[in-house]
Amino acid sequence: MSEEQVNEEFLLPYEWPGSYFIGEEEIDAVTKVLLARSPYRFYGHELQHYADKVEDFFRKRLNRKYAVLVTSGTTALSTAMLTADVGPGDEVLLPGYMWVACISAVVRCGAIPRLVDIDDTYTMDPDDLERKISPRTKAVLLVHMSGACGNVERIVEICKKHNVLLIEDVAQANGASFKGKPLGSFGDIAIYSFQYNKNITAGEGGLVVSDNDVLGAKAWAYHDVGYSRNAAGRVDMTGEIQTWGQCVHMSEVSAAVLYAQTQKLDMITSRMRARNHQLYQGIGAIPGAKTRRVIDPNGDSGPFCLISWPSFEIAKAMTEKTRAGGVKPGPWGVGNIHMVDWGLHVYYNNVSLIEKRGVNSAGRPWSDPLNEFHKEIDYRKGALPQLDDLIDRSILITVPPSLTEEGANRIIDVYQQSAKELGLA
């Protein structure tokens, strides 16, 4: 089918879940903040306390003791690494399927990232994790990529066995769970993102949660100016923690948008989950197609479908045929792609990592004498054979909450027809 024959009705909706539900609630909340002339969270003319409300929401939802709002998922990762005391001489283990911010948070702390392979859950392979843990391992960053978790129970056990701190990255899986327990409640620390692409959004934003008193206090200090604050919102220089902060606290304007979105989280994820299951069932029935192994389907937050094919060539051809058949988003979207083209989500597409570029002219962290062990690590394609093979053969379909049952059926029809044309069905 040529580009001229594309039926515009088949275009995938944009992959920005929370954006579809920005409405009167968000407008009213922001208006309250502005009319109160109090956009700063710690003090103002008439504080509306939206940041406090969002933190309370996640503390209760996750049954966690501490929650700290920050400006982005990236600053949440940086805050988590600082809180975990990650620095020169340390390594952090993380999967090769992630987002570039996961790697940069480690590098900017002066530590070395060590990549772990993935399995058919498209998340961290516990066997490879256990093989790679060493005395230098300060933390494990478990990234719940594409909306669902892998074998989180076993990874928790491995980290406890080796006395290694576990940090969960729930940026792409807000609202997801494992056996009824929310993702973000398993690790020593967990982070979230509320960027525009995420299940709920404030445009930008992040969150760091934990239960440990020391970690909770450190996360607060590092997200702020390096100290605690008193009841009046003023910096308390007499507290126990006196360090160097980042000043990445969320504004009340963003928190107002986010609080309204939190009330819609379960509705958004339930819609995506329903279409996710529909697509997996329909496309998964095509000979040669293998859907992502989801350990707990009811816990998948649903924003992505991942499907592997017998070969690189078939995956590439299926992407081309289905996109020509209309299974593609508008000009700003990236839905229905061959996963080799998934950019900075795949380790070997990160040029700065492959070339071990430093964060300054001194070449740190690679030039740090405490990090000499990095010379044994190669980040080029081939480092993670299971991931390399799976990504070569996989397609990713975005599943926004605006996708209808009828629309999902049309996507399945295009996939089935494309499979027939390729001799698969």
214 burial level (CB within 10 Å; 0-12, 13-18, 19+): exposed
401 burial level (CB within 10 Å; 0-12, 13-18, 19+): buried
Q: What is the mean pLDDT of residues 230-256?
A: 91
User: Hey, what are 249's tokens?
Assistant: 């606290």
Residues 306, 311, 315, 316: what is their CA dihedral angle, to the nearest 10 degrees?
140
pLDDT at 8: 53
- Tell me which H or E stretch contains 343: none
User: Hey, what are 419's tokens?
Assistant: 């499979």
The CATH topology of domain 24-264 is Aspartate Aminotransferase; domain 2 (3.40.640)
How far apart are the C-alpha atoms of 340 and 143, rounded to whole Å? 19
CA angle 201, 202, 206 (to 5 degrees): 85
Total Cβ atoms within 10 A of residue 5:
9
Chain-centre distance for alpha carbon 50: 24
Angstrom CA distances, 348 to 133, 241, 352, stand at 21, 39, 10
Residues comprising the chain, all counted: 425
Instruction: Report pTM.
Output: 0.96
Confidence band, pLDDT 50/70/90 cuts, at residue 10: low
Q: What is the DSSP string of 146-162?
A: GG---SHHHHHHHHHHT
Q: What is the DSSP string of 222-253?
A: HHTTSSEE-TTS-EETTSS--------BPPHH
Q: Which residue in the block uniquely carries the two structure tokens 């990090």?
A: 371
Q: Please name every residue paired with 308 in a beta bridge, in sequence order, or none if there are none.
A: 290, 394
User: Hey, what are 258's tokens?
Assistant: 């986010």
Q: What confidence tens digit (pLDDT) does each residue in 46-102 have? A: 999 999 999 999 999 999 999 999 999 999 999 999 999 999 999 999 999 999 999
Q: What confidence tens digit (pLDDT) does each residue in 12-40 have? A: 999 999 999 999 999 999 999 999 999 99
Percent of the chain with pLDDT over 90: 92
Q: Is the pLDDT score of 305 beyond 50?
A: yes
Q: Is the pLDDT score of 415 beyond 80?
A: yes
Evaluate whether 156 touches 328 at the Cβ level (below 8 Å). no
CA angle 251, 253, 254 (to 5 degrees): 70
Domain limits of the chain? 24-264
Q: What confidence tens digit (pLDDT) does each residue in 362-393 have? A: 999 999 999 999 999 999 999 999 999 999 99
Q: Is the pLDDT score of 236 beyond 80?
A: yes
Q: What confidence tens digit (pLDDT) does each residue in 97-153 have? A: 999 999 999 999 999 999 999 999 999 999 999 999 999 999 999 999 999 999 999
Evaluate whether 255 touches 49 at the Cβ level (below 8 Å). no
- Mean per-residue pLDDT of the chain: 95
pLDDT at 407: 96
Confidence band, pLDDT 50/70/90 cuts, at residue 2: very low
